[in-house]
């Protein structure tokens, strides 16, 4: 069963100051969503959390949609934001460049459920990922990571996603 989205009231960011950046935003939103869900990977829709421009300590759930790319296309007012974080659930699988079979992550025999939070601001992009089997141990990556999701979020942030 999927937990409902709670009211989109602004939430105070625990980290303050310019050092927080996208890593701080990714960690903060990931932790907020993790506390909210009774099942860590039961998120029916992708969620877009934002901090309005000129603010550094308040964020709110702007929109949600079953399809993260449709969500980004629908919410194109990124110029009024100082930061954003996209939260999705899905599948990940090991990658082996020498393997000639092209497994989709959801079909790979070693697949895992994951929840990914990708955050962006003018200083960069960062990712927090939680994996099935260790949902209480988030992996914090202070880089963009790989894949279509960070690519799309960067294009959206630059205003190039149509």
User: What is d(CA 109, CA 120) in angstroms, rounded to the nearest whole number?
Assistant: 32
In tens, the pLDDT along 1-47 reads 333 334 344 444 444 333 468 999 999 999 999 999 999 998 999 99
pLDDT at 111: 76
Q: What confidence score (pLDDT) does residue 84 get?
A: 94
Tell me the per-residue pLDDT of 123-152, one tens digit each, with 9 for 90 and over: 899 999 999 989 999 999 887 777 788 899
* pTM assigned to the model: 0.81
Query: Would you say residue 4 lies in a domain?
Result: no
Tell me the pLDDT tens digit for each residue of 56-99. Answer: 667 789 999 999 999 999 887 777 899 999 999 988 777 766 66
Comparing CA positions, the residue from 7, 22, 28, 3 lying closest to residue 157 is 22
Query: Could you tell me which residues are beta bridge partners of residue 128?
Result: 117, 140
Other CB atoms closer than 10 Å to residue 81's CB: what's the count?
A: 21
Q: Which domain holds residue 145?
A: 11-95+102-158
For residue 68, give the DSSP letter.
Answer: H
Question: Could you tell me which residues come within 8 angstroms of residue 101 by beta carbon, excluding any fewer than 6 positions away?
Answer: none
Domain count, the chain: 1
- Which two structure tokens, joined as six digits, stand for 137? 């141990």
Torsions phi, psi for 158 (to 5 deg)? -80, -5
C-alpha span between 116 and 136 (Å, rounded): 13
Assess if residue 1 is contained within a domain: no
């Amino acid at each position: 069963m999927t937990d409902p989205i709670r009211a989109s009231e602004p939430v105070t960011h625990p980290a303050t100051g310019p050092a927080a950046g996208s890593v701080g935003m990714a960690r903060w939103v990931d932790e907020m969503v993790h506390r909210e869900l009774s099942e860590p990977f039961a998120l029916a829709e992708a969620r877009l959390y934002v901090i309005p421009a000129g603010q550094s300590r308040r964020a709110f759930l702007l929109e949600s949609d079953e399809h993260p790319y449709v969500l980004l296309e629908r919410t194109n007012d990124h110029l009024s934001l100082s930061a954003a974080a996209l939260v999705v659930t899905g599948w990940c699988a090991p990658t082996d460049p020498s393997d000639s079979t092209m497994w989709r992550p959801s079909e790979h025999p070693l697949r895992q459920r994951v929840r990914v939070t990708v955050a962006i601001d003018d200083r960069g992009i960062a990712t927090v990922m939680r994996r099935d089997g260790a949902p209480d141990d988030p992996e914090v990556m202070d880089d963009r990571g790989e894949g279509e999701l960070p690519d799309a979020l960067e294009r959206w942030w630059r205003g190039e996603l149509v």
